[in-house]
Amino acid sequence: MRIEAVLGDITKQDVDVVVNAANSSLLGGGGVDGAIHAAAGPGLLAACRELRASRYPDGLPVGHAVATDAFELPARWVVHTVGPNWHAGERDPAALAGCFLASLEVAVDLGAHSIAFPAVSAGVYGWDLDEVARIAVASVRTWAVGTDQDRTTDGRPQGISLARFVLFSPPALAAFERELTTRPA
């Protein structure tokens, strides 16, 4: 699996899956969540309302992930995950790692080969950017170790071949690049 970090707009990524740093309501919010909902159009909100009504009446729990279509985004699917909120006392690194790991598992179940992640919990949820980068990169690398050798019966790779961290600012990009270069796989 190739893992990379880029500066950019996650709503413009031409990948199979875009990961949404959602709130537990799944009904939109600010930051990445608001941008994804705005770019995807009203179909995304309708799909999220259906998920709330059918599967998550109490909201999506922290560290879990669920997929919807991507509607007007270039991606095929949006995988919504709820990061832990530092300000609310949700400070367990395993909960944050769970966001990345659960998103990858959902993406594979969809048949995706490429995935774009934001810096989950690094915005309004208050986690330290360097800590998010460390946990995110380590989680994706750990997951990749167990899946890189997976092949179809005709020898083609299956599963995720590209994991891209799409960062909103030069400091965020620098934090992820440090993790990718100073702690190589």
Domains of the chain: 2-182 (3.40.220.10)
pTM: predicted TM-score of the whole model, two decimal places:
0.93
pLDDT at 158 exceeding the cut of 90 = no
pLDDT band at 152 (very low <50, low <70, confident <90, very high): low
Identify which has the larger pLDDT, 182 or 1: 1
Q: Which residues are catalytic?
A: 33
* Spatial distance between the Cα atoms of 83 and 25, rounded to a whole number of angstroms: 12
Give φ, ψ of 73 to 5 degrees. -80, 160
pLDDT band at 182 (very low <50, low <70, confident <90, very high): confident
Return the pLDDT at 156: 47
Identify which has the larger pLDDT, 145 or 104: 104
CA distances from 122 to 31, 62, 131 (A): 10, 14, 9
For 48-104, the pLDDT digits (tens) are: 999 999 999 999 999 999 999 999 999 999 999 999 999 999 999 999 999 999 999
List Cβ<8 Å contacts ≥24 apart for 120-124: 120/19, 120/21, 120/81, 120/83, 120/96, 121/21, 121/83, 121/84, 121/85, 121/86, 121/96, 122/172, 123/21, 123/30, 123/31, 123/32, 123/168, 124/30, 124/31
